[in-house]
């Protein structure tokens, strides 16, 4: 597994991070033992970076990750990087809440659910326009000073919000959505992150399943799966993008890889991207994704991928307020 330095955080991490959004209940049912086996297998294959969040089942995902890594966290804590996120209250009157009280409670809850004495990387999950960045950054710095957080990042921020936060406390990492059907970060905020040496760990490199090659126009999702409510997974948008995936499959096959591996490798080839976050609910699903970190794409191949995806319909995803 290739590693990288995550920008100015200085954290040395695997280029693939194991993400756990799918273990919080928002992606439908799953087998807990199989999920734990997937986490173990990712670790066996060299993954050192694991990402979760308070909002993924209100602690369910964090607790499952802590349970899966319990023995290794006791034995080899310094070689694991645990990241989580807070500052949201999905399905509440205030879905984005980075005020001192809620953020403090969230950090303490995350430490308890993960059963760790410190969090390597704590990220604000979504910008809260109603809370001054100075307040949020100050609270996080207090937890750094107390030794309960080692590094500070944000997720889903644009360049203006990053700059606002930077005025109080430097942002060390950024976690944005990024895949072949969602490329808006190339305009904002990826250039800002590159200019300021902010470590970038992108989520949904497989387009929440669109780029796995396993979906068809007839695919449906469980009611508990957020994709059942998303416009990206129904109707003409779904059909048009899956037609592009079929073309990408042929291109990937000529290179001897899967379309999912191609999609992950593409994100890692983009300037300024350090890490791709990939989730799995079964051990069998993680090996192929991890192998993508070793796939190199030439300039000509990247140009051909751009040509093949030129007709894609840009898609959005979930937010604290709902599903787009």
User: What is the C-alpha to C-alpha distance for residues 160 and 139, in angstroms, rounded to an integer?
Assistant: 20
Distance CA 296, CA 269 (A): 8
Please indicate whether residue 56 is annotated as part of the active site.
Answer: yes
Single out the catalytic residue among 56, 157, 178, 203.
Answer: 56
164 vs 85, 127, 132, 145, 169, CA distance in Å? 19, 11, 9, 21, 9
**Sign of torsion over alpha carbons 307, 310, 312, 317:** positive
What Cα–Cα distance (Å) separates residue 289 from each residue in 19, 112, 284, 316? 12, 30, 10, 22
CA dihedral angle for residue 37, residue 115, residue 142, residue 163, rounded to 10 degrees: 10
Placement of tokens 């030794």 in the chain: 147
Place of tokens 């319990």: 70
How would you classify residue 235: left for phi > 0, otherwise alpha for psi between -120 and 50, otherwise beta? left
Among the listed residues 49, 66, 58, 67, the one whose alpha carbon sits nearest the alpha carbon of residue 25: 58
Residues with catalytic function? 56
């Amino acid at each position: 597994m290739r590693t990288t330095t995550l920008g100015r955080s200085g954290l040395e991490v695997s280029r693939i991070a194991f993400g756990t959004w799918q273990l919080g209940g928002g992606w439908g049912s799953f087998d807990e033992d199989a999920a734990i086996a997937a986490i173990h297998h990712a670790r066996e294959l060299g993954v050192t970076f694991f990402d979760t969040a308070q909002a993924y089942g209100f602690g369910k995902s964090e607790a499952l990750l802590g349970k899966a890594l319990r023995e290794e966290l006791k034995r080899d804590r310094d070689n694991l990087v645990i990241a989580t996120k807070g500052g949201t209250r999905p399905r509440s009157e205030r879905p984005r809440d980075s005020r001192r009280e809620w953020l403090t409670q969230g950090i303490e809850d995350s430490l308890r659910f993960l059963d760790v004495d410190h969090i390597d990387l704590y990220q604000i999950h979504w910008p809260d326009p109603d809370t001054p960045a100075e307040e949020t950054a100050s609270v996080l710095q207090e937890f750094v000073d107390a030794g309960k957080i080692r590094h500070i990042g944000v997720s889903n921020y644009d360049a203006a919000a990053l700059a606002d936060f930077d005025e109080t406390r430097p942002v060390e990492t950024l976690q944005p959505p990024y895949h072949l059907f969602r490329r808006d970060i190339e305009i904002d905020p990826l250039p800002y992150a590159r200019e300021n040496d902010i470590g970038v760990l992108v989520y949904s490199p497989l387009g929440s399943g669109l780029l796995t090659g396993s979906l068809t126009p007839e695919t449906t999702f469980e009611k508990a799966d957020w994709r059942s409510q998303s416009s990206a997974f129904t109707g003409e948008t779904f059909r048009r993008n899956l037609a592009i995936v079929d073309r990408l499959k042929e291109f990937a096959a000529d290179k001897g890889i899967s379309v999912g591996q191609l999609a992950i490798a593409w994100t890692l080839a983009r300037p300024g991207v350090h890490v791709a976050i990939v989730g799995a609910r079964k051990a069998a699903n993680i090996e192929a994704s991890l192998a993508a970190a070793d796939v190199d794409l030439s300039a000509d191949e990247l140009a051909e991928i751009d040509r093949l995806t030129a007709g894609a319909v840009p898609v959005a995803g979930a937010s604290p307020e709902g599903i787009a």
